[in-house]
Amino acid sequence: DTGVSQDPRHKITKRGQNVTFRCDPISEHNRLYWYRQTLGQGPEFLTYFQNEAQLEKSRLLSDRFSAERPKGSFSTLEIQRTEQGDSAMYLCASSSTGSTGELFFGEGSRLTVL
């Protein structure tokens, strides 16, 4: 198992453009999480899935953000009409039900909005 993988690792875009990130979790993990982290802050929860169901979404999450996990495997996070404040590291993590609850993180996708 290669762990959680994220793509792309870096994305530079202009304000107003749409961006999409992909996350492939550890294959036997049925839970998938998206977090956002900025410098000097801890990871901020965005949303999570159990299998293909999106079970929770942060109240802070603008409607410009949408996430999917159509077949309960990989997930995508799309940000529409990006703003400079969206610049951050987007972290994906996975875990399995019945486990300790430990999160296994990918290397992250760094977004820079110019």
Partner 1 sequence: QKEVEQNSGPLSVPEGAIASLNCTYSDRGSQSFFWYRQYSGKSPELIMFIYSNGDKEDGRFTAQLNKASQYVSLLIRDSQPSDSATYLCAVKQRAGKSTFGDGTTLTVKP
Contacts with partner 1, residue ranges (CB under 8 A): 33, 35, 40-45, 48, 55-56, 91, 100-103, 105-108
**Cα gap 36→52, rounded to integer Å:** 21
Give whichever of 70 and 101 is closer to partner 1, judged by the CB atom: 101
Minimum distance, C-beta of residue 15 to partner 1, in the bound complex (Å): 25
Give whichever of 48 and 82 is closer to partner 1, judged by the CB atom: 48
| Alpha carbon 53 to chain centroid, angstroms | 15
Minimum distance, C-beta of residue 47 to partner 1, in the bound complex (Å): 9
Minimum distance, C-beta of residue 105 to partner 1, in the bound complex (Å): 4
Give whichever of 68 and 107 is closer to partner 1, judged by the CB atom: 107
Asked if residue 46 lies in contact with residue 35, where contact means CB atoms within 8 angstroms, the answer is: yes
Give whichever of 28 and 39 is closer to partner 1, judged by the CB atom: 39
Asked if residue 34 lies in contact with residue 56, where contact means CB atoms within 8 angstroms, the answer is: no
Q: Which two tokens stand for residue 15?
A: 């304000």
Minimum distance, C-beta of residue 112 to partner 1, in the bound complex (Å): 15
How many other C-beta atoms lie within 10 A of the C-beta of residue 6?
Answer: 22
